[in-house]
């Protein structure tokens, strides 16, 4: 498969590049010009297209001929970074390409997620503060996902729990709604979040799904599988 990783230089992006290479995929990475050096360890093994991920020309070049596109949706700045990125990926990817997007549990597809007071408070407080200081616009990540959910492309939106670093524990488990018992532990290793994203490229059951994921070795996942 030819796979584009949009946001390749970030922590999640670098893990996705590694997993994609491990699976034998040809990889094209997009990242900001100033971050190209973060991908030095992949030199000669991937193609890098430097630029902002919401630059439509950059995305048009990067996704050309790709069978799959893995997009890190981030809300940084006040510049429609998430929605601009998602829109460009949907507009320019080949019609049959598998599109897999990352976000957090705070995104809801159908409004049936049940959130803890902690997450509700975090979104309610952090969102306006981040916007006030022009650091991030969480609403734009919501807008990006609204557009993805409405699109006829072959999308999957992977919604991750809280994240931690550490060695891989295997493919996370998932459920349709935050609040489902299997997700209660609310923790996933970042390396396994990336694994889920890359594996989703070849899992057609995840087309038009917004799986909420949690680490497969967490207590709630183990209890759910028992
Ligand atoms: N962090 C969490 O606890 C958490 C929890 C659940 C879900 N998620 C989701 O996981 C995904 C990855 O998040 P992460 O926190 O792990 O971050 P990450 O993988 O380190 O990715 C951050 C990305 O944002 C880019 N970036 C940073 N500052 C920027 C700026 N000012 N303007 C434009 N781009 C900028 C980085 O590019 P450079 O390399 O160029 O800096 C990188 O591609 C996101 O979709 C997030 O919603 C995160």
Domain that holds residue 32: 2-225
**pLDDT tens by residue, 131-181:** 777 777 778 899 999 999 999 999 999 999 999 999 999 999 999 999 999
Angstrom distance (rounded) from CA 157 to CA 209: 7
Angstrom distance (rounded) from CA 219 to CA 187: 10
Angstrom distance (rounded) from CA 3 to CA 216: 25
Judged by average pLDDT, the poorest of 26-40, 46-60, 126-140 is 126-140
**Rounded to 5°, angle at Cα 212 from 113 and 132:** 70
Residue whose CB lies within 8 A of the most ligand 1 atoms, among 9, 12, 16, 33, for a mutation test: 12
Residues above pLDDT 70, as percent of the chain: 98
- Please tell me if the CB atom of residue 77 comes closer than 6 angstroms to any atom of ligand 1: yes
How many domains in the chain? Answer: 1
Task: Indicate which CATH number applies to the domain containing 138.
Answer: 3.40.50.720
């Amino acid at each position: 498969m030819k796979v584009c990783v949009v946001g390749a230089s970030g922590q999640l992006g670098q893990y996705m590049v590694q997993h994609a290479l491990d699976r034998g995929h040809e990889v094209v990475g997009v990242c900001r010009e100033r971050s190209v050096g973060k991908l030095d360890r992949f030199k000669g093994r991937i193609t890098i297209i430097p630029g902002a991920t919401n630059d439509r020309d950059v995305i048009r070049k990067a996704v050309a001929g790709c069978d799959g596109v893995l997009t890190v949706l981030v809300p940084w700045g006040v510049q429609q970074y998430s929605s601009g990125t998602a829109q460009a990926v949907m507009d320019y990817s080949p019609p049959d390409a598998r599109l897999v997007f990352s976000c957090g549990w705070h995104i809801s597809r159908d409004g049936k997620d049940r959130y803890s007071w902690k997450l509700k408070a975090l979104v309610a407080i952090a969102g306006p503060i981040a916007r006030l200081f022009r650091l991030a616009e969480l609403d734009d990540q919501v807008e990006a996902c609204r557009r993805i959910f409405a699109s006829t492309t072959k999308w999957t939106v992977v919604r991750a729990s809280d994240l931690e670093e550490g060695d891989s524990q295997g493919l996370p488990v998932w459920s349709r709604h935050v609040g489902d018992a299997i997700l209660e532990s609310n923790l996933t290793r970042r390396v396994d979040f990336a694994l889920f994203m890359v594996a989703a490229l070849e899992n057609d059951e995840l087309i038009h799904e917004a799986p909420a994921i949690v680490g497969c070795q967490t207590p709630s996942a183990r209890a759910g599988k028992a």
